[in-house]
Amino acid sequence: MNLIGEHTDYNGGFVLPVALALAVSVEIERRSDRVIRASSANVDEGRWRERDLGDEQRTGTWVDHVVGCAAVLVRLGFIDRGFDLRIASDVPMGAGLGSSGALSVAILRALREAFAIDIDDTTIAKLAQRSENEFVGARSGIMDQMAASVGREGEALFLDCRSLAYERVPLPDELELVVVHSGVAHQHSAGRPEGQSPYNQRRDECDAAARSLGVAELRDVPPDDLARVGSLPDPLARRARHVVTENSRVLDAVEALRARDLPRLGELLDASHRSLRDDFEVSTSAIDLLVDLVREQEGVYGSRITGGGFGGSIVAIADAGGGHHAAAVAVAEYEQRTGLDARILLPALAL
């Protein structure tokens, strides 16, 4: 779950994700032929899907993640045999919590173990991103994969998405994370031809803004250069302004965590949501309502949409011990006003 730093990863910037107590598990067995068989406990009623190693035809289903991970390893000469693979996951799909990144990392970890491949966890994340970009068709950045591969519970992962240097920043004991699924799944490609999803469109706009500003990536635009950013045509100016200011917010959020300054961290989350709503335009009316309702609760310092946008989840920070009550009150009103079924993912209600 990304605490702050949205749509900055594919612009070479900074992010601050947090590992959650959710997991994808993979069981794998090597085969002597070149057949790949895969099943998932979460979809298709656990039925086996079968493909040939080297068959890279995209299907638009979860199987593309399996085939894509195998394909990158084949191209690197790491595997030349098939395998049977069974998947189970409690990471909710379409919730903005990196389910695809976690799946790809889990598959590659299983393949690393089964075929005794000598690659480290950072390489696992890079190969997972390559699989999603080249074979699944999602032009994702590296954040979700790095968070799944090297993140630890109880810590935020301060990641430079250009160098992949990272620092683990402990979460203060007095902070409680609140994560609520809005009941609206991601709709990145609904009704649009392949490659024209809103997410990919935002990437294209960021690339165009960088070219217009004469930089390799928007990461290279300093925060004191916003006047030049503002001279770009709309919507490029707003897209670039979000990325430049969001990078600054990540750096400030790291300092707020180190200082255990929850009010300041909350202000940064609030500002991030406004920027994602107004400048990057990836929020929805339902998400905005949920963000506001959670933010209004006592003991909540800040809230925002998390993930790629166009649905998914929101994250908020609250005083330890009060997060679930705040979320429950907000969700009750949200469901009454929208008719949607929201789900509190964090904090889990103690039994």
For residue range 29-67, list pLDDT tens digits in order.
999 999 999 999 988 888 999 999 988 888 988 999 999
Q: Is the pLDDT of residue 22 over 60?
A: yes
Return d(Cα 99, Cα 104) in angstroms, integer.
9
Nearest to 54 by CA among 32, 81, 27, 31: 81
Question: Does the pTM of the predicted model rise above 0.85?
Answer: yes
Considering 33, 44, 90, 144, which one is annotated as catalytic? 144
Residue 153's contacts (CB-CB under 8 Å, 6 or more residues apart) are 19, 20, 21
Q: Taking a C-beta distance cutoff of 8 angstroms, is the pair 98, 159 a contact?
A: no
**118 annotated active-site:** no
Q: What digits encode the pLDDT tens for the residues 195-224?
A: 468 888 999 999 999 999 999 999 999 999
Return d(Cα 275, Cα 245) in angstroms, integer.
8
Nearest to 75 by CA among 130, 115, 139: 130
- Predicted confidence at residue 189, as pLDDT, reads 39
Distances (CA, A) of 79 to 58, 180, 291: 20, 40, 46
Q: What digits encode the pLDDT tens for the residues 283-342?
A: 999 999 999 999 999 999 999 999 889 999 999 999 999 999 999 999 999 999 999 999
Q: What digits encode the pLDDT tens for the residues 118-136?
A: 999 999 999 999 999 999 8
